[in-house]
């Protein structure tokens, strides 16, 4: 029992260590110091989740039972990696350009962003993976039991499994759902599994070295021992050898957890190049000592001991407690890293393809743009899904009784997910593949897999009666689960793989060529198959009725305010429009859809934009592009496209310039007449009251004081107006000298708040973060303060909330400082957002305080400072954004 307590203690310390590693990696990534996170070696190590506890413990048992056949499980993936140039490179590129979040997302996105396919693949993946998770739980609990000593104190195995499952759920939730990153990369998780990869490799090597040099007399001795052991009677079974190489290669491409680390978490395509030799090398080293351990174990341990546990029992039997401990940690690492990534991958699929679509339709048509915070819904659903996946795994473990039914579950699971292969490869190599074909293939493949392999695996009588096994379904002999169409004598696994994969492929092919894919599928097909030729075109949205502001509101909910604004600003810049709201043209919608897809999956992103845009997503033009597409035309047309893009951009700009010129002449008139109005109004009062004072001798003192007060106020107003006009004219003509100084943003904001809010009765609650404001500025501080004062006074004057509030958000990135002033009053209507920066325009004429020159002056000042002030739409209240370079460049003047 003592050793059991030690092992529990050691595993807890180890888990704490993993938490620390994951936490450190997340922190480093957040601070941008995590260069080492992007090393190709980390990527390669993360691929090692292919080697689960099934490898760590099971490979030795497999070798003891079936000789060298275990090697096929590692040869297949090695071949896939060697052949990265053919398939993986394509998948990774597609994953990156289409912002794929999971294998379900990949398949659904290829076949016209079909939600049905996404849900189907998700469910099938859950069915295929749950037993595998159960297998990991079992291996961890069994290894605990080995330490507890057989027979003595019965450890409550199911309780152990429950604790392990709960611990894994917590870890995955903590590091897998911390943020809803647009690129879905989880640095903490990746780093933790990379560390676990090293631990399991080291542990297996240590046991191997101990066995070869500690127990046997080196490699030569091992080879003779092989010849004298029962393994030497092994004879290659051709069907299984080739079949299993194929199956494991297919599984590497199709397993949801492998897809997650290979494609989704891929940071840099070049890492694949390193992994293409480094991962096969890892697999080779992992397999190297398996046969020696098996041989020595068969020699050393009493007959009938479980060869699956040789890795643990050999060190224990020879009294090497610490080696056994290391070995235990290796197995523990293999199991936990698999469960963490698998549950993360499945949870992403479940939340993106099952929960989100339901939530979207439940909250009604406008749901995406109007109600609720989508980000938190996605994250919560992801957390619940992780817990649910682990609960499923645990239940499977409980129900199967942890018995021998689990032993072959690894290969059964491989065969299940391998059913994705035809529609996956067909999707990326064959333009003709379509949605119905994919559905047909998947359905046929999975039914056959379940009927021939999964259900019989529970044992005769559980799901399939002896009657069915013997005489076939409905008594039809050609429907016998292990001898379909009368072909008997095959190995059951190979039989099932052969029929399911070939009929799956056949159905996929035939249904595909019979049907006509929808336009959006054809566009996605071209996009996937020719990913290297044209990485930019995708099904486009017709310029529709989408309102940029609605899109902004939605994008902010999913991407987060800052990221969404960054995307919108970049797109607006591309279109040559100042400010934050780009025109909702097809290009912009496509970019936005991809950004959203990175967070919620392609099908959901497509649906959400569809709700707002409301238009068809494919234009006649796009259809023509598909219909006429030949290699040359594509080449030529993509050049034309660039040209015509340029032309239309130029035309847009010219149109805008022309409009401006027309406006300018109108504005000149308007300006004169405005100045006249602004000057004459105060003069009217001054003249009238000075005449009253002059002509009426019998005024009371109070009246005299009052009237001369009015004259004074109006004279001050006139002076201020003239000051503003002069200021503006100086700014516009660029004749000002900037007075550069250094201070922190906090000091500038505090000085401005003092100046703006002191001596006023209106209470404005200011919410700000002094810590964020610690940004050093090198600019004209007085001018900047003038802008801030103006914005604060505006909030104070025009905010119509019962309890006026002003939030000031600040941040800095790449030397550009952004300051947002957001109050809680009614937002400025669409049409007026640009006008308020014009001279003499007022937000609200009812409360005319100044001449309406304030924002115009602000804009000019910010231009002088190399920055900008603009209205920040989509906040649900009035908000202004000031951006400026941290360091003013004198040359810019």
Partner 1 sequence: MSTGRSMIFLERQTYRRRRLIDWIRMLPIIGLILWLVPLLWPVDGSGQVSTSDAVVYLFAVWFVLVVIKAISSTALARARRAEDAERGKPDQPEQN
Partner 2 sequence: MSKRVLLIEDEPNIIEAISFILSRAGWDVVTHSNGHDAIEAVQNRQPDVVILDVMLPGRSGYEILTDLRAQDETASLPVLMLTARGQTKDREMAERVGASLFMTKPFSNGEVLDAVNQLVGA
Q: Is 631 in the site for partner 1 (CB under 8 A)?
A: yes
Q: Is 696 in the site for partner 2 (CB under 8 A)?
A: yes
Please give the Cα distance from 782 to 785 (Å, whole number): 5
SS3 state of residue 112: coil
- In the bound complex, what is the minimum distance in angstroms from residue 838's beta carbon to partner 2? 17
Q: Is 714 in the site for partner 2 (CB under 8 A)?
A: yes
Q: Is 701 in the site for partner 2 (CB under 8 A)?
A: no
Q: Pick the piece of the chain touching partner 1 (CB under 8 A) from 223-231, 554-562, 736-744, 792-800.
A: 223-231
Indicate the residue among 154 and 846 with the shorter CB distance to partner 2. Answer: 846
- In the bound complex, what is the minimum distance in angstroms from residue 693's beta carbon to partner 2? 11
What is the helix, strand, coil percentage profile of the chain, to 5? Answer: 70, 5, 25
SS3 state of residue 443: helix
Please give the Cα distance from 197 to 334 (Å, whole number): 7
Give the helix ranges, DSSP H, for 301-459.
Answer: 310-317, 321-349, 356-362, 367-370, 374-400, 409-417, 421-429, 435-449, 455-457
Indicate the residue among 31 and 694 with the shorter CB distance to partner 2. Answer: 694
Q: Is 664 in the site for partner 1 (CB under 8 A)?
A: no
Judge contact between 594 and 608, C-beta under 8 A: no
User: In which region does residue 186 sit, left (phi positive, over 0), alpha (psi from -120 to 50) or beta (all else)?
Assistant: beta
Q: Which residues contact 725 (CB under 8 A, 6 or more apart)?
A: 675, 853
Q: Pick the piece of the chain touching partner 2 (CB under 8 A) from 29-37, 161-169, 412-420, 706-714.
A: 706-714
Q: Pick the piece of the chain touching partner 1 (CB under 8 A) from 1-9, 233-241, 511-519, 582-590.
A: 233-241
Tokens 């990221």 — which residue?
A: 563
Q: Pick the piece of the chain touching partner 2 (CB under 8 A) from 692-700, 792-800, 865-873, 878-886.
A: 692-700
Q: Pick the piece of the chain touching partner 1 (CB under 8 A) from 182-190, 239-247, 567-575, 848-856.
A: 239-247
Q: What is the DSSP letter of 828?
A: P
Looking at 570, 574, 687, 742, which residue binds partner 2 (CB under 8 A)?
687
Q: Is 632 in the site for partner 2 (CB under 8 A)?
A: no
Indicate the residue among 696 and 729 with the shorter CB distance to partner 2. Answer: 696
Looking at 710, 718, 725, 755, which residue binds partner 2 (CB under 8 A)?
710
- In the bound complex, what is the minimum distance in angstroms from residue 542's beta carbon to partner 1? 26
Q: Is 245 in the site for partner 1 (CB under 8 A)?
A: yes
Radius of gyration of the chain (CA): 35
Please give the Cα distance from 109 to 593 (Å, whole number): 12
- Contact track, partner 2, 650-679, x by CB under 8 A: ----------------------xx--xxxx
Axis crossing angle, helix 409-417 with helix 115-148, rounded to the nearest 10: 170
Indicate the residue among 154 and 235 with the shorter CB distance to partner 1. Answer: 235
Query: Would you give the distance in Å from CA 74 to the centre of its chain?
Result: 30
- Residue 373 binds: one of partner 1, partner 2, none (C-beta under 5 to 8 A by kind): none
Axis crossing angle, helix 187-209 with helix 310-317, rounded to the nearest 10: 50
Q: Is 708 in the site for partner 2 (CB under 8 A)?
A: no
- Residue 688 binds: one of partner 2, partner 1, none (C-beta under 5 to 8 A by kind): partner 2
Q: What is the DSSP letter of 151?
A: S
- Residue 845 binds: one of partner 1, partner 2, none (C-beta under 5 to 8 A by kind): partner 2
Subset of 494-553 contacting partner 1 (CB under 8 A): 532-533, 535
- Residue 83 binds: one of partner 2, partner 1, none (C-beta under 5 to 8 A by kind): partner 1
- Residue 673 binds: one of partner 1, partner 2, none (C-beta under 5 to 8 A by kind): partner 2
Q: Pick the piece of the chain touching partner 2 (CB under 8 A) from 311-319, 528-536, 688-696, 868-876.
A: 688-696
The three-point CA angle 558-560-561 to 5° equals 125
Looking at 269, 299, 646, 691, which residue binds partner 2 (CB under 8 A)?
691
Q: Is 835 in the site for partner 2 (CB under 8 A)?
A: no
Sequence-distant contacts of 617-621: CB under 8 A, at least 24 apart:
617/520, 617/539, 617/540, 617/541, 617/542, 618/519, 618/520, 618/523, 618/539, 618/540, 618/542, 619/540, 619/542, 619/586
Please give the Cα distance from 373 to 528 (Å, whole number): 32
Q: Is 819 in the site for partner 1 (CB under 8 A)?
A: no
For the chain, the first-to-last Cα distance in angstroms comes to 79
Q: Is 358 in the site for partner 2 (CB under 8 A)?
A: no
Judge contact between 437 and 515, C-beta under 8 A: yes
Indicate the residue among 649 and 687 with the shorter CB distance to partner 2. Answer: 687
Q: What letters, b where the CB count within 10 A reaches 16 and e where it falls short, cover 711-748?
A: beebeebbeebeebbebbeebeeeebebeeeeeebbbb
User: What's the sign of the alpha-carbon dihedral 294, 300, 304, 309?
Assistant: negative
Please give the Cα distance from 659 to 244 (Å, whole number): 70
SS3 state of residue 743: strand
Indicate the residue among 691 and 754 with the shorter CB distance to partner 2. Answer: 691
- In the bound complex, what is the minimum distance in angstroms from residue 535's beta carbon to partner 2? 55
Indicate the residue among 86 and 485 with the shorter CB distance to partner 1. Answer: 86
Looking at 156, 217, 227, 470, which residue binds partner 1 (CB under 8 A)?
227
Looking at 27, 570, 643, 680, which residue binds partner 2 (CB under 8 A)?
680
Looking at 488, 545, 621, 639, which residue binds partner 1 (CB under 8 A)?
639
Q: Is 274 in the site for partner 1 (CB under 8 A)?
A: yes
- In the bound complex, what is the minimum distance in angstroms from residue 207's beta carbon to partner 1? 18
- Residue 236 binds: one of partner 1, partner 2, none (C-beta under 5 to 8 A by kind): partner 1
- In the bound complex, what is the minimum distance in angstroms from residue 270's beta carbon to partner 1? 7
- In the bound complex, what is the minimum distance in angstroms from residue 637's beta carbon to partner 1? 12
> What is the side-by-side strand order in the sheet with 765-768?
765-768, 805-813, 816-823, 879-885, 868-871
- Residue 399 binds: one of partner 1, partner 2, none (C-beta under 5 to 8 A by kind): none
- Count the residues of the shown chain that bind partner 2, applying the rule CB under 8 A: 24
- Residue 681 binds: one of partner 2, partner 1, none (C-beta under 5 to 8 A by kind): partner 2
User: In which region does residue 814 sit, left (phi positive, over 0), alpha (psi from -120 to 50) or beta (all else)?
Assistant: left
Subset of 62-101 contacting partner 1 (CB under 8 A): 67-68, 71, 75, 78-80, 82-83, 85-86, 93
Indicate the residue among 324 and 498 with the shorter CB distance to partner 1. Answer: 498
Q: Pick the piece of the chain touching partner 1 (CB under 8 A) from 281-289, 653-661, 757-765, 785-793.
A: 281-289
Judge contact between 850 and 872, C-beta under 8 A: no
- Count the residues of the shown chain that bind partner 1, applying the rule CB under 8 A: 45
CA distances from 839 to 4, 106, 845, 863, 865 (A): 80, 52, 14, 16, 20
Please give the Cα distance from 72 to 78 (Å, whole number): 10
- In the bound complex, what is the minimum distance in angstroms from residue 673's beta carbon to partner 2? 5
Q: Is 852 in the site for partner 2 (CB under 8 A)?
A: no
User: In which region does residue 876 sit, left (phi positive, over 0), alpha (psi from -120 to 50) or beta (all else)?
Assistant: left
Please give the Cα distance from 172 to 348 (Å, whole number): 12
Tokens 């199991």 — which residue?
A: 335
Encoded tokens for 355: 């929960």
- Using CB under 8 A, list all residues that contact partner 1: 67-68, 71, 75, 78-80, 82-83, 85-86, 93, 223-224, 226-227, 231-232, 234-236, 238, 241-242, 245, 269-270, 273-274, 276-278, 280-281, 284, 287-288, 291, 532-533, 535, 631, 635, 638-639
- Using CB under 8 A, list all residues that contact partner 2: 672-673, 676-681, 683-689, 691-692, 695-696, 710, 713-714, 845-846
């Amino acid at each position: 029992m003592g050793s059991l307590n030690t092992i529990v203690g050691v595993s807890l310390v180890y888990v704490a260590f993993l938490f620390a590693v994951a936490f450190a990696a997340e922190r480093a990534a957040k601070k941008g110091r995590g260069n080492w996170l992007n090393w190709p070696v980390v990527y390669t190590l993360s691929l090692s989740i292919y080697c689960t506890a099934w490898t760590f413990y099971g490979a030795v048992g497999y070798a003891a039972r079936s000789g060298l056949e275990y090697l096929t499980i590692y040869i297949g993936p090695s071949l896939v990696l060697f052949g990265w140039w053919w398939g993986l490179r394509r998948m990774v590129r597609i994953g990156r350009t289409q912002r794929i979040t999971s294998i379900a997302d990949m398949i659904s996105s290829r076949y016209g962003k079909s939600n049905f396919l996404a849900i189907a693949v998700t469910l099938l993946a859950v069915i295929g993976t749950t037993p595998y998770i159960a297998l990991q739980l079992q291996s961890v609990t069994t290894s605990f039991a080995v330490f507890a000593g057989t027979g003595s104190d019965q450890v409550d195995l199911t309780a152990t499994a429950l604790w392990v499952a709960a611990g894994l759920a917590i870890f995955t939730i903590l590091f897998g759902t911390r943020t809803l990153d647009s690129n879905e990369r989880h640095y903490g998780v990746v780093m933790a599994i990379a560390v676990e990869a090293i631990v399991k490799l080291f542990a297996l090597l240590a046991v191997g070295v101990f066995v070869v040099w500690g127990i046997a007399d080196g490699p030569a001795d091992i080879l003779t021992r092989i010849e004298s052991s029962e393994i030497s009677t092994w004879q290659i079974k051709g069907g299984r050898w080739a079949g299993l190489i194929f199956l494991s290669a297919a599984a590497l491409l199709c397993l949801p957890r492998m897809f997650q680390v290979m494609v989704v978490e891929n940071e840099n395509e070049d890492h694949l190049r390193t992994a293409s030799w480094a991962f096969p090398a890892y697999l080779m080293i992992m397999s190297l000592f398996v046969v020696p351990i098996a041989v020595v174990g068969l020699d050393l341990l009493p007959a009938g001991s479980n060869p699956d546990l040789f890795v643990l029992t050999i060190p224990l039997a020879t009294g090497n407690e610490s080696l056994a401990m290391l070995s235990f940690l290796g197995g523990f690492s293999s199991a936990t890293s698999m469960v963490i990534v698998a549950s993360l991958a499945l949870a992403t699929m479940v939340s993106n393809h099952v929960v989100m679509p339901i939530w979207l339709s439940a909250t009604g048509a406008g749901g995406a743009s109007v109600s609720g915070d989508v980000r938190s819904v996605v994250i919560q659903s992801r957390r619940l899904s992780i817990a649910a996946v682990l609960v499923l795994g645990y239940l499977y473990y409980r129900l199967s009784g942890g018995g021998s039914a689990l032993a072959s579950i690894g290969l059964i699971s491989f065969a299940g997910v391998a059913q994705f292969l035809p529609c996956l490869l067909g999707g990326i190599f064959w333009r003709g593949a379509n949605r119905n074909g994919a559905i047909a293939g998947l359905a046929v493949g999975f039914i056959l897999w379940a009927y021939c392999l999964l259900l019989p695996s529970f044992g005769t009588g559980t799901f399939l009666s002896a009657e069915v096994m013997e005489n076939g379904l409905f008594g039809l002999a050609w429907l016998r689960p292990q001898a379909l169409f009368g072909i008997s004598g095959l190995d059951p696994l190979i039989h099932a793989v052969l029929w399911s994969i070939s009929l799956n492929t056949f159905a996929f092919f035939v249904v595909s060529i019979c049907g006509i894919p929808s336009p959006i599928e054809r566009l996605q097909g071209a996009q996937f198959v020719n990913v290297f030729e044209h990485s930019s075109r995708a099904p486009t949205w017709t310029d529709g009725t989408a309102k940029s502001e609605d899109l902004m509101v939605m994008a902010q909910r999913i991407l987060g305010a800052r990221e969404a604004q960054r995307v919108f600003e970049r797109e607006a810049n591309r279109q040559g429009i100042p400010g934050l709201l780009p025109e909702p043209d097809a290009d912009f919608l496509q970019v936005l859809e991809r950004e959203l897809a990175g967070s919620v999956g392609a099908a959901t992103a497509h649906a959400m934009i569809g709700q707002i845009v409301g238009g068809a997503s494919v234009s006649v033009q796009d259809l023509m592009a598909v219909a006429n597409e030949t290699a040359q035309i594509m080449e030529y047309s993509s050049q034309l496209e660039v040209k015509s893009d340029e032309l239309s951009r130029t035309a847009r700009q010219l149109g805008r310039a022309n409009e401006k010129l027309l406006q300018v002449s109108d504005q000149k008139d308007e300006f004169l007449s405005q100045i006249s109005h602004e000057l004459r109004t105060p003069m009217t009062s001054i003249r009238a009251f000075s005449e009253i004072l002059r002509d009426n001798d019998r005024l009371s003192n109070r009246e005299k004081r009052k009237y001369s007060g009015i004259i004074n106020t109006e004279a001050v107003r006139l002076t201020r107006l003239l000051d503003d006009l002069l200021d503006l004219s100086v700014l516009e003509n660029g004749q000002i000298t900037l007075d550069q100084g250094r201070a922190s943003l906090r000091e500038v904001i505090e000085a401005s708040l003092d100046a703006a809010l002191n001596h006023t009765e209106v209470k404005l609650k200011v919410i700000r973060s002094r810590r964020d404001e610690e940004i050093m500025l090198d600019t004209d501080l007085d001018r900047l303060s003038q802008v801030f004062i103006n914005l604060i006074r505006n909030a104070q004057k025009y905010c119509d909330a019962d309890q006026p509030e002003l939030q000031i958000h600040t941040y800095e990135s790449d030397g550009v400082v952004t300051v947002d002033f957001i109050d809680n009053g009614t937002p400025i209507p669409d049409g007026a957002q640009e006008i308020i920066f014009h001279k003499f325009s007022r937000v609200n004429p009812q409360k005319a305080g100044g001449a309406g020159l304030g924002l115009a002056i602000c804009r000019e000042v910010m231009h002088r400072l190399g920055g900008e002030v603009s209205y920040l739409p989509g906040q649900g209240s009035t908000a202004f954004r000031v951006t400026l370079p941290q360091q003013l460049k004198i040359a810019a003047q």
